Structure formats: C-alpha cells, structure tokens
Structure 1
C-alpha cells in the first residue's frame, strides 16, 4: 500500500492531471466547436499534454509517486515551451518551420498557417495562453513538490 500524499503533493498531482486535461479540452472545443483548426505547431503543443495525463495518472498507482508527478510537470513545461516558440512565430519575432509558414500555396487546401494566430483573447493567441498556463502550472507543480521536501528537512516555508 502506498503512503498518503502530503497536501502539497496532492495539489501538485491534481494540477498535473487537471491542467493538461483542461487545455486539451479547450483545444478540442476550439477546433470542433469554433472551427479553429490546429496548425502543425498547435499539434506539437498537444503531444506533451497527451503524455502528462498518463504520467500523472501513474502517480495514483505506482511508486515513486512524486517522480511521476514531476515527470508530468516536465511534459506540461515542454508544451509551454513549444507554445512560447509558436507565439513568437505568430508575432514574427523569429521564423517558424517552413511547412506551415511563409507564402501559402493557393492550391493547397486545408493548410493552416503557423505564423498567423487564428484567435486572440486579451491580445494573446491560444499558443501564448498555452505557454503562460503550462509554464506556470509546471512551476507550481514543482514548487508544491519541493514544499514537502523543505518540511521533511525541517526548513520553514
């Protein structure tokens, strides 16, 4: 039987399960509910979230539980980094991949450009929101996991 998680570890676990699930749900609602189809880099941002969910779920079943939570946090962080890169491409701060940027072929149907934001909320694209939420959540997960270590060593937090 696995020992119970500390309150900070439980919150980290819930974030590691919930954040990628909510972000993926938002992506699919945007896609199928509002017709905002993903470009190639949008898909790249989804893959780490697909990995984070089973990693976080493993923390409910297998030891070392905190390691699975930390790995889920790493996957979420990677998605955020990809989102930050994608947002930079959308703002034309740097060049993106050539497959979905630059001059679109007028005869290529269904190509979604990576260098044009399909939607912005408060001036931030969906890639930018993914970057902010994912990086923030990953840092929060890791800080929550570290909080237990500090208490265990007798260091006041």
Structure 2
C-alpha cells in the first residue's frame, strides 16, 4: 500500500504539530523551561505546519520541498543542540557560558546577571533512552524530511 501525497503531507505536518505540542507540554505542564536553542527548534516546526496546510491545496513539489527544508532546518538545529549538550562543541555564549567579569562595574555585572537566559543550552533537563529532547527532535525531524520528500515526488491525484 502506498500513501497518497496528501496523507504524506498530513503525516509530516501533524508530526511537526505533535513535536510543538510536546515541547509546550514539557514547558508549561512539566515545568521544564526551554533554552534559546530549544526555541530555535520550534520555529521550523511551526513553519512546517503552515506549509502543510498550504501544500494540501496546491499541486507540484514546491511546497512539500519547502516543508522538507523546514524539517531539515529543525533537525540541523537539534543536532547542533545535541552537540552542545554532549560537549562536542561550544554553543552560543548567551546560553552556555558566562561573559567575562573583568573590566566592568558591579552595576553592569548585576544587569548582565539579571538579563541572563534562565535555562542553559548545555544542560539536559529530560532524556529518554539516553537521548535528550534535542536528539529526539533530530530523529523525528529527519523522518519528517523523508515524508515531505516522498510527498514532493508524488503526483497529486
């Protein structure tokens, strides 16, 4: 049994919607605040949901390929975030380390502390089977890429 173009689009867009709902659930129900990289991973999922709605009303591969690009973007950010969490590389200094404290006044230092991000990007707040949310986002998003590409190569019935 082969899946129709619309079913593939629905699966990919619904997958992104489910990831977004899960992220918001962890944030608001699980009291796990997102870091900057977590927030960055959400935007391409939101775009994929909108692209999915538009792609259902059109023909041709353009929108499904754009959906694949959105899913690939969040997968790349998720992979980057995983690397930051596992100390494979450094993340953004705004969410992984402190700014140097030499040469600034106590008031400026206090202002930096008060305006600092609450959640660090290099700390894992939740994992399942040894993989963080960023890692699971990468895996799921790569599956969504495959669905989007499969939809792009199918002819609309």
Task: Confirm or deny a common fold (TM above 0.5).
Answer: yes
Q: Given the alignment, which residue of 45, 50, 55 partners 1:54? A: 50
- Post-superposition offset of 1:140: 3.1
Higher relative contact order (CA 8 A, sep 6+): 2
CA deviation digits over 1:45-81, x for unaligned, max 9?
00111111111100122x3353212211210111011
The question of whether the paired residues in 2 share the 8 Å contact of 1:16 and 1:69 is answered with no
Give the gaps of 5 or more residues in structure 2.
Answer: 100-108
- Post-superposition offset of 1:23: 0.2
Give the gaps of 5 or more residues in structure 1.
Answer: 1-5, 150-157
CA deviation digits over 1:5-55, x for unaligned, max 9?
x84312321122211100000000000111111000000000111111111
Count of residue pairs brought into register by the alignment: 142
Q: Given the alignment, which residue of 6, 11, 23 partners 2:7? A: 11
RMSD of aligned C-alpha atoms?
2.2
- Post-superposition offset of 1:111: 1.2
- Cα distance in structure 1, aligned partners of 2:55 and 2:75: 21
- Cα distance in structure 2, aligned partners of 1:69 and 1:57: 10
Q: Given the alignment, which residue of 29, 34, 37 partners 1:33? A: 29
TM-score where L is the length of structure 2: 0.81
Q: Given the alignment, which residue of 38, 49, 67 partners 1:72? A: 67
Q: Which moved more, 1:64-73 or 1:25-34?
A: 64-73
TM-score where L is the length of structure 1: 0.81
- Post-superposition offset of 1:110: 5.8
